Amino acid sequence: MMQQNKQKHQQQQRKQPAHASMALRRKRLRLKRREIMRRSDGADMEMVNLKLYLENRCILEENERLREKATALRRENLALLADLRKMSPAPATATASY
């Protein structure tokens, strides 16, 4: 009888670590899944960040092209105004003849 109780006790002791190891295994699996999810979320955020960065670069390049075009148009406008002033009589001389 004593022998049987001792064996049962030993079996219970063996089972307890098995349950504990299963709990640890489950916990590790949960942690691993969380880490994988974090990494995938991080990768998604990196892709969004990269897309926004590239879009921003395109906008900046287009802005620079438009700025150069506006500068060229302004220069052309000033040159045309200067030519127009040379061709038309000055208002001061026109009023002086009256």
Over the stretch 55-83, which tens digit does the pLDDT of each residue have? 999 999 999 999 999 999 999 999 999 99
The length of the chain is 98
3-state secondary structure of 72: helix
Amino acid 96: pLDDT:
52
pTM of the model: 0.48
- The neighbour count for residue 26, using CB atoms within 10 Å, is 10
* Rounded distance between C-alpha atoms, residue 9 and residue 4, angstroms: 9
